[in-house]
Amino acid sequence: MLFKDSKVNRTVLIVSAVVCCAALLTGALPAERTKKKTYVLGFDGADHKMVSRMMAEGKLPNLSKLAASGGYTPLLPTIPAQTPVSWSTFSTGLSPGRTQIFDFLKRDPKTYRPEFAVATEGVKPFLLGKKNRWVAAGGLGLLCFVAGFFLIRWPLKKTVLSLGLSVIPLLLGAWQGHRLGKQLPEEIPTVVNNRRGVPFWEAAGKKGIKAAVLHVPVTFPAVDYDNGKLVSGLGVPDVRGRIGTPSYYTSDPFFAPRNKNEFSVELIRLESNKGTIATEVFGPYNKLFKDPPVIKVPMKLTVLPDGARLRIEPEGSEPVVIKTGEWSPWVRFVFPFNSVVKLRGIGRFHLLSITPEIQLYLSPINFDPEKLPPSVKISSPGTWAASLSEKFGLFKTMGWSIDTWSMSEEVIDEKVFLEDVSFTVLQYRKMMEGILADEDLDLYVQIYEYTDRVGHVMWRLLDPEHPAYDAQKAAQYAISVERSYRQMDTIVGGVLEKLGKDDLLIVLSDHGFATWRRSVNYNTWLVENGFMALKGANEKQADLEMLFGQGEFWANVDWSKTKAYAMGLGEIYVNLEGREAKGVVSPGAEYEAVRAEIKKRLLELTDPKTGKKPVHGVYTREEVYGTYDAEVIPDIFVTNADGYRVAWQSSLGVVTPDLFEDNKQVWSGDHCSVDPAVVPGILFANRALPKDRTPGIADVPATLYKFMGVEPPEKLDGVPLF
């Protein structure tokens, strides 16, 4: 009893109850969280076989804990099993036939040229376009006229004379305005995301669900949506407008680039290996004014007297000094198109050697997240990228953020590559942990790419039968693949600690991995089997730079006698009359007969060196997609068996002398044209998962919609898993 007076007791109890209720409503007293949260972590290329083995060996304790509390299953990727294809289906719940993202590349049926499938580049007027200079001249001239009139009239006190004299500042202002206007571009580049469909986070945002989404592929340019934030992933270019263009500076006059897998490394030769050497940094292609074609920044390299350090001084940037084997901090570059228009980027140097020759690596130059050009929107809202950088430090904005090209060209080694991987993952983890700690979110989605990139260049060290296997390197670096998976387990563990009892955590990958020992060229096969005709020999190789530079493709193909051609990572197009510019195959019976014959013969194909069948499956677009745009989607999809992948040159339309080739490249593991059954991904959830079937990646967004209580904006191609 608190008081003897029972009325007082009742009053105290009532007041106490009211105070407690008010405190709970206002957050004055701690209360158990009742609003469920959704966490989705994606790890590009995390392989089901690898994860299962490591779990059985006790090497992935957090994932094992997650599987025990809920479920774990292989996850079937899309056909083809490619990063932009699978993640686009993950984002929207639609098949690739409906997202229209079915490969990294597509073809223009009117020209047969390959193009990037993810996005299309264009231009738009900047301000008033061609009128910029005249409007600037008129505006500044008028301003100078008015200002001049009042300044002159004040001492003279004569209006007519003041008007006459004010013509002088008018003319001067117009002249300066015209000069200023000429330095403004008439057009600026634009990018249109070709993915169709509404991402689940945008639909959730309309229902009041607060979300943050980081690094999901095919989300560039970033789209503003209700109650949400986003940083774009794969698809964001470097400042040169490329997937990524690293630079390699060397004083070695005999160095020759490998050019092994069709990607470009900018080679800059140095005139000396002593004292101060003048060179330059290659910046953006000049799409604003055309001249000069490339914007470059002068740079001085100075070998310091101790012979062990190099001072690096790009014009307009703070100088840095690094030793052999060291990375520089972020270096900020300023690329001036003229005195008014400048583009800012960030990059890091790594000094490989000074003696006997200077070898200096410069990473692809990313857009500076704090000073983005108006045409490059990598975050939603547009200011979020700068806010993240100010809070967590500069970060890579480029979609393919880990440099695999320099490894493939062998200008950097495994050690340098893995240092870059660690640097990149650490920054993205720091951002994730900070966002989750600081923001009250209902939905969090983040994709990590490093598991895929490590797999691509290190898989050869796991496979003694691979043509590029090196026992000495395997002893030192084969463990790097496992380490990347252990790092994945640590990241998952951090989120596990945050889960409430009603929260959902999903961990998935878009595909798995397989060894790539042998390449097969389907264009060569089409020629050998009479489906493609040539006018003569063509030994010219193709690379991705030809896509940007409008290079020549299909130089020696006789389209009047060609029934089919291959383009992309495992697709075949029928040279269809009325669709292709020089189509010869009639729609209907002949079209179906060509597809049936190609399918039959490809499934019979045998590699004479190994005695194995390189083709796992051949599918028509109707079989894999159901719904599709007949003008865009390929007619046939060819998937490879374990150990095989479509050749790089075949993906760019080249007919090579040999149908099969050993893959002796550093890029040694893959999935791009491999059958989904051979390279399943992973799916974990802290809920039970079905045991009677293998889910597909389209089932994940369907599950998320149901869990969040959001109605999908259109019919999905997957079904909820629980």
Q: What 3 state SS string does 595-626 have?
A: HHHHHHHHHHCCCCCCCCCCEEEEEEHHHHCC
Q: Is residue 223 part of a domain?
A: yes
Strand partners, 278: 300
CA–CA separation, 297 and 313 (whole Å): 10
Q: What is the pTM of this model?
A: 0.90
Instruction: State whether the Cα torsion 284-288-294-295 is positive or negative.
Output: negative
User: What is the pLDDT, as a whole number, of residue 132?
Assistant: 80
Is 110 part of a structural domain of the chain? no
* Range of the structural domain that residue 164 is part of: 127-184
**Model pLDDT, residue 699:** 98
- CATH code where residue 650 lies: 3.30.1360
Contact 259, 540 (CB under 8 A): no
Q: Which residues of 453-486 are buried (b: 16+ CB within 10 A; e: fewer)?
A: bbbbbbbbbbbeebebbeeeebeebbebbbebbb
Residues 617 and 598 in one domain: yes
Residues 6+ apart with CB under 8 A from 141: 170, 171, 173, 174, 177
For residues 608 and 554, state if they share a domain: yes
For residues 554 and 640, membership in a common domain is answered with yes
Q: Phi/psi at 695 (nearest 5 deg)?
A: -65, 155
The answer as to whether 393 is a domain residue is: no
3-class DSSP state of 41:
strand
Q: Please check whether residue 656 lies inside any domain of the structure.
A: yes
Q: Does 94 lie in the same domain as 166? A: no
Q: Edge to edge, what strands does the sheet with 276-285 contain?
A: 276-285, 294-303, 309-314, 320-323
**Is there a single domain that holds both residue 224 and residue 244?**
no
Domain boundary residue among 627, 649, 668? 668
The C-alpha atoms of residue 497 and residue 505 are separated, in whole angstroms, by 11
Q: Do 541 and 636 lie in a common domain?
A: yes
Distance CA 285, CA 146 (A): 41
8 Å CB contact between 217 and 92:
no
245 and 131 part of one domain: no
What gap in Å lies between CA 485 and CA 61, rounded to an integer?
Answer: 11
**Closest of 519, 507, 494 to residue 647, by C-alpha:** 519
Q: What is the pLDDT of residue 261?
A: 47
Give the span between the Cα atoms of 683 and 499, in whole angstroms: 18
Does 191 reside within a domain? no
What are the tokens at 662? 């050993």
**582 CB-contact burial (10 Å; exposed 0-12 / middle 13-18 / buried 19+):** middle
Give, rounded to a whole angstrom, the gap between the first and last alpha carbons of the chain: 52
Mean per-residue pLDDT pooled into runs of 10, the chain (722 residues): 40 38 39 74 98 98 97 98 98 98 94 90 85 82 83 76 78 80 84 96 98 98 97 96 94 79 79 95 92 95 95 96 97 95 97 96 98 94 97 97 92 97 98 96 98 98 97 98 98 96 97 98 96 78 58 85 96 97 97 98 98 98 94 97 94 91 96 97 97 96 98 97 94
Give 571's contacts (C-beta < 8 A, 6+ positions apart): 80, 102, 103, 634, 636, 637, 638
Provide the 8-state DSSP code for 478: T
Question: What is the reported pLDDT for 108?
Answer: 92
How many CB atoms within 10 Å of residue 323?
12
C-alpha dihedral over 56, 62, 65, 66, to 10 degrees?
Answer: -110
Are residues 530 and 632 both part of a single domain? yes
Cis peptide preceding 221, ω within 30 of 0: yes
φ, ψ for residue 278, nearest 5 deg: -85, 135
The one-letter code for the residue type at 388 is L
Residue at 119 is within a domain: no
Q: Residues 683, 506: contact at Cβ < 8 Å?
A: yes
Q: Is there a domain that residue 109 lies in?
A: no
Closest CA to 214 of 383, 380, 367, 389: 380
User: Distance (Å, rounded) from C-alpha 410 to C-alpha 248?
Assistant: 11
Q: Are residues 211 and 83 in the same domain?
A: yes
pLDDT at 542: 58
CA 590, 79, 667 angle in degrees (round to 5)? 115
In this structure, what token pair is assigned to residue 384?
């979020």
Tokens at 22, concatenated:
């008010």
Domain count, the chain: 4
Q: Which residues contact 232 (CB under 8 A, 6 or more apart)?
A: 215, 216, 219, 220, 221, 222, 378, 379, 399
Assign residue 524 a region: left if phi > 0, alpha if psi is -120 to 50, beta otherwise? alpha
Same domain assignment for residues 417 and 332: no
Query: Which residue intervals of 191-247 are DSSP H helices?
Result: 200-206
Closest CA to 220 of 453, 79, 382, 335: 382
The verdict on 566 and 658 lying in the same domain is: yes
Q: Which pLDDT score, from 0 to 100, does residue 541 have?
A: 60
Contact 618, 494 (CB under 8 A): no
Q: Domain for residue 230, yes or no?
A: yes
Same domain, 425 and 340: no
Residue 86 sits in a domain whose CATH number is 3.40.720.10
